[in-house]
Each structure stands twice: as C-alpha cells, then as structure tokens.
C-alpha cells in the first residue's frame, strides 16, 4: 500500500483501520509495522504509532554512494585476497547471460525484469568473492534501504530511449570490475565499483526530475529537496 501510493508520505498509520481493511488481527499488523520501520518505509512517532516516511533526494543519493563505497571495498578485497576460480566463472556466466540479453535492440518489460535478476546475482557473487562477512553484511544492509539496491532505478528508466544504452555502459563496467579482480588489481577494482554506483545516481536524478514520474514502486516518496543542516 505504501509503495503503490495508497498511503502517502507523512500519512499516519491507523492500526485499527488496517485491521479492518486487511481482515487480520492486530498482532500481525503490529509486527508488520515494526518490520516496515526497520526496512525504512515507516518512522516511529514520539506519541506512539507510525507514519509513512518520505525521502529527500539527498538521502537516497547518500545511500547509493554508501553502497558504492562498501561494494568498492569488497571488490578490492576480492582482488587482493584472490577470488575463488569457481566464483569468477559463475560471475562470467552471469555477465555472458546479460550480454545475450542486451543483443536485442529494444528491451521489453520481461527483459528488464530478467536483467534485474541477473544483475542482482552478479553483485551477490562479487560480495562472495571478498570473503568478508562483516563488510558484506553492511553492504547488504545498505542495499536493502529503499531505492539503494544495485537495480533500484533500472526499471524506472525502462521506457527511456537511453535505457538500453545505460545498461550497456553498466555491463561494460561489470566486465572491467571482474577483470580487475581476476588480475588482482585491488585499487582499480575498487575505483571501478564506486564509479559503477554513479549510474544509479544518474537514474535517481532523471527519475525525480521527470515531468511524468515513472511507474516505480514508492517513487512518490522521494522529495526533490536537500536535508536541512
């Protein structure tokens, strides 16, 4: 309901209303509200209860930047420690599948959805290569924040004339990162991974400045403003 815009940003959540609307008891509703606060979609109110959270563009941008930093660290560690050969092969297979997908001149909704799945798997494999439980846990936590995942804004740009071009750029960066890891070039792998996250930054700006907002779940919660100091 939040992501679909039925509950607008800033709206206070009425627990009893949800009980009646969803036809379940208060216990699972309360558990869901707590979980949604943990996932960053709700904010707890001082007097009790919850409200739908809104996001400044700067907040989302910083979350993407932080993800890029952590993924960059993981890429550097993978290169310096020496990535497992099997994981490297699996990553190459994922990228080859993306290459095949991008051979189509125009991508439909199913193709974009498939890209998101392949992209997510590739990023997970990069995390596996580093062998760092602590940094991986933090990277996954940041990626789980609203709009901060590696494919957070891919579908938002699906109808853009430049959409496929952007994916081709991202794919080239994927191959470069993987090559740097395989060649044990830690600094280069980290730099490339951080630059890779900048594509999501560009998609964020394109999304919030669009005259007609794309049909991206929850995009209406992003406000084009900077946070007050």
Residue 210: the pLDDT is: 66
DSSP string across 86-137? HHHHHHHHHHHHHHHHTTSSS--HHHHHHHHHHHHHHHHHHHHHHT-HHHHH
| pLDDT number for residue 149 | 82
- The whole model's pTM is what? 0.77
Taking a C-beta distance cutoff of 8 angstroms, is the pair 115, 228 a contact? Answer: no
pLDDT score of 228: 47
Q: Is 106 or 91 the better-scoring residue by pLDDT?
A: 91
pLDDT digits (tens, 9 = 90+) for 172-229: 999 999 999 999 999 999 999 999 998 888 878 777 776 555 566 667 777 776 554 4
**How far apart are alpha carbons 224 and 116 in whole angstroms?**
25
* Least confident range of 11-25, 116-130, 157-171: 157-171
Q: What pLDDT is recorded for position 158?
A: 58
* High-pLDDT (> 90) share of the chain, %: 45
**Cβ proximity of 99 and 171 under 8 Å:** yes
What's the confidence (pLDDT) of residue 229? 40
Residue 137 pLDDT: 93
**How far is it, in rounded angstroms, from Cα 88 to Cα 129?**
8
The tens digit of pLDDT for each residue in 127-168 reads 999 999 999 999 998 888 777 888 766 655 655 667 778 889
Candidates 156, 198, 155; CA nearest to 173 is 198
Which domains does the chain carry? 12-53 (1.10.10.10), 57-209 (1.20.120.530)
Instruction: Specify the 3-state DSSP secondary structure of 85.
Output: helix
């Amino acid at each position: 309901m939040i992501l679909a815009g039925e509950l607008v940003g800033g709206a206070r959540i009425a627990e009893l209303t949800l009980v009646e609307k969803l036809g379940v008891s208060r216990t699972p509703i309360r558990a869901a509200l707590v979980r949604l606060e943990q996932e960053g979609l709700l904010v707890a109110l001082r007097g009790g209860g919850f409200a739908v959270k809104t996001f400044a563009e700067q907040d989302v941008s910083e979350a993407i930047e932080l993800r890029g930093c952590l993924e960059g660290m993981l890429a550097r560690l993978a290169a310096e420690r020496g990535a497992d050969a099997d994981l490297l092969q699996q990553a190459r297979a994922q990228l080859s599948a993306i290459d095949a997908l991008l051979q189509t001149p125009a991508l439909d909704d199913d193709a974009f959805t498939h890209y998101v799945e392949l992209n997510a798997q590739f990023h997970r494999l990069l995390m596996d290569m580093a062998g760092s439980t602590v940094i991986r846990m933090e990277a996954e936590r940041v990626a789980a924040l609203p709009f901060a995942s590696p494919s957070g804004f891919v579908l938002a740009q699906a109808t853009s004339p430049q959409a496929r071009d952007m994916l081709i750029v991202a794919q080239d960066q994927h191959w470069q990162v993987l090559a740097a890891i395989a060649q044990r070039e830690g600094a280069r792998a980290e730099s490339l991974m951080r630059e890779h996250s900048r594509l999501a930054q560009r998609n964020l700006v394109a999304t919030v400045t669009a005259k007609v907002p794309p049909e991206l779940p929850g995009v209406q919660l992003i406000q084009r403003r900077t946070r007050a100091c």
